[in-house]
């Protein structure tokens, strides 16, 4: 089975939704998926940030329009979309230990239910090297 590895360093809504779309495509192709949550992306995975909507990396002035279009198109919020992918295929989501510490997440219970565990950057680098497809957002 082939594998998609995503290095997610941004927790902005546009990146989270985009990663979810890519994961959905990989799941449809029956790929295994590993996501390595790095830097500011760790903030989005903290419990209590499930409906975080305060940032768009690309074109922040289009935030309201993006949310309106997502609602109009029936696009799930990113957490629901990611959970659907996890239900469809072998998907593991790891928080980089530095990202966890950066946002006060010292233990797994500090993060939402999508998160499978902690990792170091070396595990991400190894996974990226071995992946059939590697995407960094």
Above 80 in pLDDT, residue 55? Answer: no
pTM: 0.91
Q: 12 to each of 51, 63, 122, how far by Cα in Å?
A: 12, 11, 24
Length in residues, the chain: 137
Query: Cβ–Cβ contacts within 10 Å for residue 21, how many?
Result: 13
Above 70 in pLDDT, residue 5? Answer: yes
Q: Please compute the mean of the pLDDT values over residues 120-124 and round it to a whole number.
A: 95
Which residues, 6+ apart, have CB-to-CB distance to 80 below 8 Å? none
In 3D, which of 37, 2, 24 has the Cα closest to residue 136?
37
What domain range is 77 assigned to?
A: 3-136
Task: Say how many CA atoms lie within 13 Å of 5 toward its Cβ.
Answer: 15
Q: How many domains does the chain have?
A: 1
Q: CATH code at 69? A: 3.40.1260.10
């Amino acid at each position: 089975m082939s594998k998609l590895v995503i290095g997610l360093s941004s927790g902005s809504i546009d990146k989270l939704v985009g990663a979810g779309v890519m994961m959905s495509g990989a799941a449809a192709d029956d790929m295994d998926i590993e996501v390595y949550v790095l830097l500011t992306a760790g903030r989005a995975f903290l419990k209590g940030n499930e409906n975080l909507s305060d940032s768009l990396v690309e074109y922040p002035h289009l935030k309201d329009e993006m949310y309106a279009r997502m609602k109009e198109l029936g696009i799930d919020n990113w957490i629901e979309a990611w959970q659907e992918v996890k239900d469809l295929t072998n998907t593991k989501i790891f928080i980089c230990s530095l990202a966890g510490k950066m946002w006060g997440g010292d233990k797994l219970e500090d993060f939402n239910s999508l998160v499978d565990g902690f990792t170091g950057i070396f595990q991400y680098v190894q996974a990226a090297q071995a992946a059939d497809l590697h995407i960094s957002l």
